[in-house]
Amino acid sequence: MKQNLHLITLGVRDFKKSYKFYTETLGWKPASASQDDVAFFQTSGVVFAIYPREKLAEDAKISTEGSGFPGFTLAYNAHSEAEVDEIIRDLKSKGVQIVKEPTKAFWGGYSSYFADPDDYRWEVAFNPFFPFDENGNLKAQN
C-alpha cells in the first residue's frame, strides 16, 4: 500500500444542510460525479466528500451509533496570519460557528477553528514550517 490517501468522506446527519454549507457558505464547487446524496469536491490532491452518516456507516460495516469528539480534524493552511484573520472574519459574517478565534499557537504558527454543521472541526492556520509547493500543496518536509 503506497503512501497515499485519495478520499476523505464525512458522514453527515443532514445532507441538504451540509451540502448548502460547503457549496454556498464555503463556496465550493461540487464535481460532476456528485449525485443526489453524495457530493465530491476536488481539492488540489485529495477528494473531499459528504455522504449521509447512516449510509457511510453501513458501507464501512460499523454501527451508525456514535457521539462526542469524532477523533479527527481537517486543516486548511493559509499563506499568512492576515489570511487566517480574513477567512475567519468572512466565515463569521456568514454565521459559521468559530470555536477558536485566531491565536498564536504553541508550535509557532497561528491557528483558529470553525465547526461545520455536524460539528466536525476545521482548523484554519498559518504554519511557517509547512511550505507550499508550486501546485499549492502543503509540503511536510519529506
Q: Using CB under 8 A, which residues numbered 34 to 53 contact its own copies?
A: 40-49, 53
Residue 99 is a binding residue for its own copies (CB under 8 A): yes
Q: Are 41 and 33 in contact (CB under 8 A)?
A: no
Residue nearer to its own copies on the CB measure, 95 or 135: 135
Residue 81 is a binding residue for its own copies (CB under 8 A): no
How far apart are CB 6 and its own copies at their closest, in Å? 4
| SS3 of residue 2 by DSSP | coil
Cell triple for 17: 444542510
Considering only 17, 37, 66, 128, the residue that binds its own copies (CB under 8 A) is 66
Non-local (6+) Cβ contacts of 35 within 8 A are none
Tally Cβ neighbours within 10 Å of residue 49: 21
* Size of the residue set binding its own copies (CB under 8 A): 73
Instruction: Report which of 46, 60, 49 is spatially closest to residue 18, judged by C-alpha positions.
Output: 49
Residue 77 is a binding residue for its own copies (CB under 8 A): yes
How far apart are CB 24 and its own copies at their closest, in Å? 12
